[in-house]
Each structure stands twice: as structure tokens, then as C-alpha cells.
């Protein structure tokens, strides 16, 4: 694991970049501990970029019939949403910020994370968007259909956020076949690699962090927004 201070983040937010896959349960334990520490003023806010070994995670709205083939460990995540897959080739961003000083607006936080990912992908040559009624980040697949390239799932406790987003750089897309991703059966999933834009995690991280200022600006308290 490595920690980097030179980023587009302000001093009150720590950046952590894990260079080896982090087991999902271990990451969940670390997030919960960090959530408590941030809420009590004992630790800085955190943006954590990482990758997990193959795992299926269940959000609070996960339905049993959407687990089709539990070929990997299934973990109750505690976040909102349904089933999702995490694994090698997928960039995970966990965002732990204190909304008590950033507007106490959970909906705006989710919207801002979506915008952060969408803007980053645009900088990398992939146009993506929000889709009404469908959580996640969507793009045009190689066959012209809409497909999911990123997932969003958050939890807020003590006004401190947990979880965040995942973006498919080059995962094994067949691994998504064990679930109905996010409960949406009629649309597929895609990746940067499938779209002909292979990208190293470090390059994605750099593009993401270049947009960090825009993301944080969107979290300012409502009365200071323009």
C-alpha cells in the first residue's frame, strides 16, 4: 500500500492509493473505522483508490433472485443499491468526506460523485452519462447499445460518507454474469478496454485527481453555491 500527498486534493483530505488488491472485508473494516475517526475529529477525510480480488457485494436493496451464480464470495456491503461485482481490472474509489461541513446534502454528494466520474471519463475520451431511473454511469457500447461502465454506491453515517464508485478499466466482464448488476437485467456492462481505450490504473487516477477540485467545489454548502 502506498500513500501519496501530491494530488489535486486539499490538505484536509488524505489520498491513499493501494498498489496491491485489498480484500473487500478488510476494506470495509477500514472504512468503518475511518468513518468513526473522521466523525470524532481524530482523522482527516479520505479518498482511497484501490482494487479488490473478485467479490460480489450486496447493497441494502439486493434481491435474492438477482444472485444468479455465487461463484465468488458474497459480502453484505451496508451501502445503498443492489448486487455489484468488484474484481481485478476495476478501479475503486472510496470517498470518505464529512458532509456536516459540506452542505449535509446526500443527494448532491451522489450527484457530485457521478459528475466526477463522468468528467474524468470525458477527459479520457469516453463520453458517459446519467440515465434517469438507472443508477450508475452509462456509455455507448461497441454494438451501439447503452452499457454500464461505472457503478455508484454510498452510505452516510454520522454525516460522514463511505463507499463511492467503481469504473471498469479492464475487468473480466464475464464475472458480471453471476449477478443482475444493480438489478438492471436489460442492459450490459462494458469497459475502457472493450471500447478500445485500454488504460492503466495510474493513468485513470491521474485524470480523476485532476478533477478533484471540481468535485469538492460541488460539495460546498448550499448557501455558498453559485
84 known member of a binding site: yes
86 known member of a binding site: yes
Helix (H, G, I), strand (E, B) or coil at 118: helix
* Farthest-apart Cα atoms in the chain, separation: 50
83 known member of a binding site: yes
Which run of H or of E encompasses 56? strand 55-58
6 known member of a binding site: no
Helices 106-123 + 201-210 axis angle, to 10: 120
Distance CA 49, CA 205 (A): 8
33 known member of a binding site: no
Residues with a known catalytic role: 182
194 known member of a binding site: no
Residue 194, all three cell numbers: 472493450
Closest CA to 64 of 212, 193, 174, 183: 183
94 known member of a binding site: no
Residue numbering of the annotated binding site: 79-86, 151-153, 164-166
Binding residues for substrate: 79-86, 151-153, 164-166
Amino acid at each position: 500500500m502506498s500513500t501519496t500527498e501530491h494530488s489535486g486534493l486539499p490538505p484536509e483530505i488524505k489520498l491513499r492509493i493501494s498498489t496491491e488488491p485489498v480484500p473487500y472485508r478488510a476494506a470495509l473494516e477500514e472504512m468503518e473505522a475511518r468513518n468513526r475517526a473522521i466523525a470524532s475529529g481524530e482523522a482527516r477525510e479520505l479518498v482511497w483508490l484501490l482494487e479488490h480480488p473478485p467479490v460480489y457485494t450486496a447493497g441494502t436493496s439486493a434481491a435474492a433472485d438477482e444472485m444468479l451464480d455465487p461463484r465468488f464470495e458474497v459480502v453484505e456491503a451496508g451501502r445503498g443499491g443492489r448486487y455489484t461485482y468488484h474484481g481485478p481490472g476495476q478501479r475503486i474509489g472510496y470517498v470518505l468526506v464529512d458532509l456536516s461541513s459540506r452542505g449535509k446534502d446526500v443527494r448532491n454528494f451522489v450527484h457530485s460523485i457521478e459528475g466526477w466520474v463522468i468528467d474524468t471519463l470525458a477527459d479520457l475520451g469516453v463520453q458517459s452519462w446519467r440515465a434517469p431511473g438507472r443508477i450508475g454511469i452509462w456509455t455507448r457500447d461497441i454494438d451501439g447499445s447503452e452499457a454500464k461502465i461505472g457503478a455508484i454506491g454510498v452510505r452516510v453515517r454520522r454525516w460522514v460518507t463511505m463507499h463511492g464508485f467503481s469504473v471498469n478499466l479492464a475487468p473480466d466482464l464475464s464475472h458480471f454474469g453471476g449477478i443482475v448488476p444493480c438489478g438492471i437485467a436489460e442492459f450490459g456492462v462494458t469497459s475502457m478496454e472493450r471500447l478500445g481505450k485500454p488504460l492503466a490504473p495510474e493513468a485513470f487516477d491521474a485524470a480523476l485527481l485532476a478533477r478533484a477540485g471540481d468535485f469538492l467545489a460541488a460539495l460546498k454548502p448550499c448557501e455558498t453555491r453559485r
